[in-house]
A and B are shown apart, each in its own frame.
Chain A
């Protein structure tokens, strides 16, 4: 099978859906001629023209809100917010408008709108261009939150996002854009709320998102040589969340690590830990471990930033603590 990058996979999904569905338009800063700063929208201006691929001013609240209004009146917009850090400039539009419109109108108004943005540190871009607060959005009822970890998942999930009639926060990871993987040329859809077991195992469950999926797989391979079989579960969407898959896995292994790049406190891992503690308490054989970023802003200095980003070492530490528990 052909290999393409994560960025190309998203580009392909956008392109195919735009060909099929003339209601889809794109809005964002530097997405046209520049192709988006991560090159996700390359070539789309040429194919679909400036009416459908709209370069916006630096006005996040303005263009995100514009997408909400366009969605309510028949279009299916896709916005690119250059970094997740800048979604804060549009927070009213996301949290108070986009997320709640359907509910507040008693189900009458709908907002089929995909907001694409990205998380992740590691580029020396410091505290306002490197955050990973995707879990914010899982706290807001009315938003679907998608977290693709591979090119294959990125395309399949985008295909679903673009037929879903609800607001979708499509949260990419900037360090994954250039990673390659097998992606079928034909169209396929990955349903929301359906986890993917990226590796089966019997001893420890790791529920991992984004770049930590691959890092967990690396650790799993390594520990397999020591006789420990790790199961790596990627929820693929953190809202809706495939609780059943998580609970089933933990019931099998009795041990849980969560691995997510957000700050640990109040993050995705905490929610998963709470669900498991509540619903599978009797199956747990060891304390739950959360792997994530320290509760600090993202530092600039390269050694600090490297230390900040959770990696294989952090996962192995968590695994050894679990295995040491009697």
Chain B
């Protein structure tokens, strides 16, 4: 597949941005500046970026508890994200949602989700709505290998298949649901074979190879946009950090450093970097420049978050309901 140099640079930049954002959270979390549950995406960047590179601003995604990568890939602003993680009023959710609930409906981010498998039916709903409204918008539902065992996965694929909805079910198979290895939670190796049950296309790709992800999702997006219905794309990958920051020693209760090592060697960013250097899209100097720009952006985001204010007590009662009335419009 031929992608423009600009597009490739944009994709590379987003991967770097996700990585730096997450690395900064490691530090901020350790210093107690980011409270709560932070599930980091380090090592899985190629999936979100490769997938979302196929989307327009008016397309939708539903995300997961491990959502920072998805929303950055879809175009979220890191300042509003950082402020949200700090619990500040200038955050995406005015501090009410935190890491697991970042949403920006203006750019099609229908929300990260604290419920494993909670996003899939919502993605189907977005697909139904796009079809009903006769737009050609598509929806990518991200979810993990673990979430593929929730009944919502099966119900969603079935519904989307029956109604030929423009949804791309994108499984990030990082081989674990918290401590539970894939072989302990399902007998299949490839989640994509479940597509057969719903008579839709299903493929498995190397999730650390951004071009492979891009191409598989591209096909699925074309199918969805042309009204032919949903697909299931599985991306095999691995998370480097613990399940969340606070999972002791990168998950030593259920895996060893030795298990992690080969995956660090298969770093999706280094891999893409090598390709782009070979293609002369990137140079060493350009890499440094991109990393420097991203670092500045993250620094600014932290500063913005730090300088923003916490909500006031009375804000707790706001936003339980939408106060404006709807009706025929």
**Which residues of A come within 8 Å of B, CB atoms?**
29-30, 32-35, 37, 55-62, 85-86, 89, 123-129, 294-297, 299-304, 307-308
Contact of B37 among A29, A32, A124 (CB under 8 A): A124
Give the Cβ gap from A183 to chain B, nearest Cβ, in Å. Answer: 26
B253 touches A33 (CB 8 A): yes
Known: A30-B180, A127-B97, A296-B320. A301 touches B146 (CB 8 A): no
Whether the Cβ atoms of A303 and B253 lie closer than 8 Å is no
Bound-complex Cα distance A37 to B185 (A):
17
Contact flags B23-39 to A (C-beta < 8 A → 1, else 0): 00000000000011100
Listed stretches B87-95, B194-202, B256-264, B275-283; interface member: B87-95
In the complex, what residues of A have CB within 8 A of residue B180's CB?
29-30, 34, 55, 57
A307 vs B317: C-alpha distance when bound (angstroms): 11
A-B contact count (CB 8 A): 131
CA–CA, A302 to B98, complex, Å?
10
Q: Is the CB of B316 within 8 A of A125?
A: no
Q: Are A126 and B114 in contact (CB under 8 A)?
A: yes
Q: Is the CB of B178 within 8 A of A299?
A: no
Q: List 7 A-B contacts (CB under 8 A).
A: A58-B150, A126-B96, A126-B114, A128-B118, A129-B114, A299-B316, A303-B313
Instruction: Please indicate the chain B residues that have their CB under 8 angstroms from the CB of A303 in the complex.
Output: 87, 310-311, 313
Could you tell me if B95 and A126 are in contact, using CB atoms closer than 8 angstroms?
A: no
Q: Is A300 a contact partner of B87 (Cβ separation < 8 A)?
A: yes
Given A30-B179, A30-B180, A57 and B185 touching (CB < 8 A)?
yes
Query: For the complex, is B177 an interface residue (Cβ under 8 Å from A)?
Result: yes
Per-position contact with A for B180-216: 1 when CB-CB < 8 Å, else 0?
1000111000000000000000000000000000000
Give the size range of B's interface with the partner: 35 or more
Main secondary structure of the interface of B (DSSP, over half): loop
Partner of A85, one of B114, B149, B315: B114
Instruction: Report the minimum CB–CB distance from B37 to chain A (whole Å).
Output: 5
Report which of B146, B184, B313 forms a contact with A304, defined as CB distance below 8 A: B313
Report the Cα distance A267→B101, complex, angstroms.
26
**Which partner residue on chain B sits nearest A35 by CB separation?**
B253
> Out of A62, A128, A295, which one reaches B100, CB within 8 Å?
A128
Contacting pair B317 A127 (CB below 8 A): no
With A37-B178, A307-B313 as known contacts, state yes or no: A126 contacts B97, CB within 8 Å.
yes
| Least Cβ–Cβ distance between B212 and chain A, in angstroms | 27
- Complex alpha-carbon distance, A125 and B313, angstroms: 18
What residue of chain B has the Cβ atom nearest to residue A297's Cβ?
B320
**How far, in whole Å, are A297 and B118 apart by their CA atoms in the complex?**
17
Contact A34 B178 (CB under 8 A): yes
Q: Does B51 contact A (CB under 8 A)?
A: no
**CB-based closest 8 A-B pairs:** A124-B36, A128-B114, A300-B98, A301-B87, A301-B95, A124-B35, A57-B149, A34-B179
Q: Which residue of A lies closest to B144 (CB)?
A: A58
Given A124-B35, A128-B100: A59 and B149 within 8 A (CB)?
Answer: yes
Query: For B315, what are the chain A residues with a Cβ–Cβ distance below 8 Å?
Result: 304
Do B37 and A129 touch across chains, with their CB atoms under 8 A apart?
A: yes
A89/B150 in contact, CB under 8 A: yes
Question: Contacts A29-B178, A303-B87 hold; do A125 and B151 have CB atoms under 8 A apart?
Answer: no
List the A side residues contacting B35 at CB < 8 Å: 124, 302
- Residue contact A126 to B316, C-beta cutoff 8 Å: no
Q: Are B186 and A300 in contact (CB under 8 A)?
A: no
Closest Cβ of chain B to A66, distance in Å, is 13
* B117 in contact (CB, < 8 A): yes
Residue B116 CB within 8 A of the other chain:
yes
A57 touches B100 (CB 8 A): no
* CB-CB nearest in chain A for B89: A301
Interface residues of B in 225-280 (CB under 8 A from A): 253-254
Q: Which residue of B lies closest to A128 (CB)?
A: B114
Partner of A30, one of B118, B151, B178, B311: B178
- The answer to whether A58 and B116 touch (CB under 8 A), given A33-B254, A301-B87, A304-B313, is yes
Encoded as 1 (CB less than 8 Å from any A CB) or 0, chain B from 303 to 323 comes to 000000011010111001000
Extra 17 A-B pairs, beta carbons < 8 Å, given A299-B316, A304-B95: A29-B177, A30-B179, A33-B254, A55-B184, A55-B185, A56-B185, A57-B186, A58-B185, A124-B36, A125-B114, A127-B97, A128-B101, A294-B316, A295-B320, A301-B96, A304-B87, A304-B315
A60: nearest residue on chain B (CB-CB)?
B150
B113 CB contacts on chain A under 8 angstroms: 128
Q: How far is the CA of A125 from the CA of B93 in the complex (A)?
A: 14
Residues of chain B within 8 A (CB-CB) of A300 are 36, 84, 87, 93, 95-98, 101
A160 to chain B, nearest CB (A): 31
Q: Is the CB of B186 within 8 A of A302?
A: no
B105 in contact (CB, < 8 A):
no
Q: Which residues of B contact A35 (CB under 8 A)?
A: 253
Chain A residues with Cβ below 8 Å from B149 are 57-59, 62
B115 sits at the interface (CB 8 A)? yes
